[in-house]
Amino acid sequence: MRDLKEIRKDIDKIDNQLIELFKQRMDCARDVGIYKQANNIPVLNEGRENEILDAVEEKGGEYGASARLLYSNIMELSRALQHNIVGSGKELKSVINNASTDIPSSGIKVAYQGIKGANGHEATLRLFPNGEAVNYKSFADVFSAVDNGEVAFGVLPVENSSAGSVSAVYDLILKHRFYIVKALDLPIDYCLAGLKQSAFEDIEIVWSHPQSLSQCAQYIADHGFDSVPFSNTAIAARDVAKEKRLNVAAICSYKACEEYGLKVLDNHLQDNDENTTRFIVISKKLYIPKDANRISLCFSLPHVTGSLYSLLCRFNSLGLNLTKIESRPRQGRQFEYLFYLDFSGNVRSENVIELVSQLSEEMPEFSFLGNYAEPEFPIK
């Protein structure tokens, strides 16, 4: 067995050579960048990269796979350097520089899905206390209202702490690619809302939105209730009041229960005490408030091995914290996905804007969805 001190001495010697070679390689990459800028050549050259990766894998012998991984990282870094030199992402930078900082708070209409008393209505009141909340039937209708200018903003639920993502909304975000300008994590508390003349023992059937049924799945199973999906919790409450069936109750907010003249038959039905739903605000116009701390992007991945891995490496190398990544299948394309990604940061910091600009050039179907302020903890 070799002596540990001796081996470490060798490693130090090799590292000294490696770092010199790494610097020389980066200098070459920089020169290639200068050439590319002068000759208007794109930074990424997949063919060349694949040739290099295949060659190092072959030469790497028993460490072939590791050599490939090491080189894919090195090339990622050399590309990042070249993007800086060629000034990638000019269009995006100008969009970001021209964004307004102040989101109007009054004299505006804000769309939400459902009716008065819905969680979306509550989120809208919290996000725009001085705005005019306008209700729409479906999530798609909220997007259309923003699209055709009927409203300035739309409020949509994207994720619940126990039931997960609202995938229908993600699909609409990826389709329309409006900007996200605000977000909020709203605590969600459900009651069992029945007719004034019903007693808890009469209830056999519960009506609610599928997300809410899922957040109360254990409660529903424990009581042996049959559940019926509704387009919205407040609509379920309104219809319980309208249809007057003694054995039916809605699972809805306390506000909806009161709004539609129902009686609380049971409290706090959610399986998880810390039940919250994250809402976002969509807009056709970009606003980036000064205190923005969250960035959302969407894109598809280039058809190269490890492209998701190398993307994540780039965030890691800048110390940026991903808070969400969601993949949605692309319509009509088997096993191809669009990615939606959130991370912490502000585009006014240099490393963040550089990274986003680079991705805007390299990721197919890239969109910058926004940089907005989101409280770190759920509001009370």
Ligand X SMILES: C=C(O[C@@H]1C=C(C(=O)O)C=C[C@H]1O)C(=O)O
CB of 48 to ligand X, least distance (A): 4
Active site residues: 277, 279
Q: Is 49 in the site for ligand X (CB under 6 A)?
A: yes
Q: How far is CA 37 from CA 27, 84, 293, 355, 364, in A?
A: 15, 10, 33, 18, 21
Count of residues that interact with ligand X, criterion CB under 6 A? 11
Choose the binding region for ligand X from 6-14, 73-81, 92-100, 136-144 (rule: CB under 6 A).
73-81
Q: Kindly tell me which residue out of 67, 69, 79, 230 binds ligand X, with binding defined by CB under 6 A.
A: 79
Among residues 8, 9, 48, 90, which is the contact residue for ligand X, using CB under 6 A?
48
Footprint on residues 170-199 left by ligand X (CB under 6 A): none
Q: What whole-number distance in Å separates Cα of residue 162 and Cα of residue 30?
A: 48
Instruction: Provide, rounded to whole angstroms, the least separation between the CB of residue 87 and ligand X.
Output: 16
Least distance between ligand X and beta carbon 343 (Å): 24
CB of 65 to ligand X, least distance (A): 19
| Closest by Cα among 322, 295, 252, 289 to 127 | 289
Choose between 86 and 169: whose C-beta lies nearer to ligand X.
86
Contact flag: residue 57 with ligand X (CB under 6 A): no
Q: Tell which one of 22, 30, 37, 52 touches ligand X (CB under 6 A).
A: 52
> Across the chain, where does the E strand assignment appear?
109-113, 132-136, 153-160, 164-165, 179-187, 191-194, 205-208, 226-229, 248-252, 263-266, 276-283, 294-300, 322-329, 337-344, 367-372
Q: Given candidates 22, 44, 57, 302, which one binds ligand X under the rule CB under 6 A?
A: 44
Distance CA 163, CA 141 (A): 23
Residue whose C-alpha is closest to residue 214's, from 161, 176, 255, 177: 161
159: which strand partners?
Answer: 165, 278
Binding site for ligand X (CB under 6 A): 29, 32, 44-45, 48-49, 52, 75, 78-79, 82
